[in-house]
Structure 1
Amino acid sequence: MPHTTEWRVRLDLFEDDDGTTKAHVVLDTGTTELTGQGTAHCHPADANVPEIGDELAAGRALQNIAQRLLDTAERDIEGVGVPRPSPRQVTGWPT
């Protein structure tokens, strides 16, 4: 049963005057949208390198949305009658 689909990801970055970078990511599956957020703060003693703030905020937003996606998958698996995995078991179909 081959399956091919395309999901779209949009990642927006915003930097405030106080050195805070915020990231907002949207995953559009075609049937639903998941969102994630991340932030990074430049320490006053550090050099202001915007690329580093972008990388940290984007990475944290992607981690946030990844966790939301895994949580959704676990609920969906449970919804088709498969019990939740034990804390030691990796998320996915049980073996």
Structure 2
Amino acid sequence: MVATKHWTFDVYFDEDVDHTHAEARLQAPAAGELHGKGAARRNPEDRSVPEIGDELAAARALFDLARRLLKAAEDDVERMTGHPAHLHT
């Protein structure tokens, strides 16, 4: 049977003039709630373009979230098989 599923990702930002912090959150029935964090810092010699800091911090938070989701899947495989699992991207 083919099933359609929906997972919701949200990214929250906290920023000042030179720093952007992002937290990516995933709500998924199977995985529960997972969080990933990322940050960006503007080089003092660069002009301020907040969108770039948002993109970089969000990308880093999503990479962190992806790593945590992969670890959760690895733990699930180990629990189901009773053998060590080493999942790769």
TM-score range, shorter chain: 0.7 to 0.9
> TM-score, normalising length from structure 1?
0.82
The answer as to 2:85 corresponding to 1:84 is yes
Match of 2:47 in 1: 47
Match of 1:21 in 2: 20
CA RMSD of aligned residues (A): 1.7
The alpha carbon displacement at 1:15 in A equals 1.2
Distance in 1, matches of 2:76 and 2:84, equals 11
The alpha carbon displacement at 1:2 in A equals 2.4
Distance in 1, matches of 2:21 and 2:46, equals 18
The structure in which a higher percent of residues are strand is: 2
Taking the TM superposition and a 5 Å limit, the aligned residue runs for 1:2-81 are: 2-17=2-17, 19-30=18-29, 32-81=32-81
Q: Percent identity?
A: 43
Secondary structure of 1:80 counterpart: helix
The alpha carbon displacement at 1:56 in A equals 0.4
Q: Which runs of 4+ in 1 moved over 6 A?
A: none
Greater Rg over alpha carbons, structure: 1
The structure in which a higher percent of residues are helix is: 2
> TM-score, normalising length from structure 2?
0.87
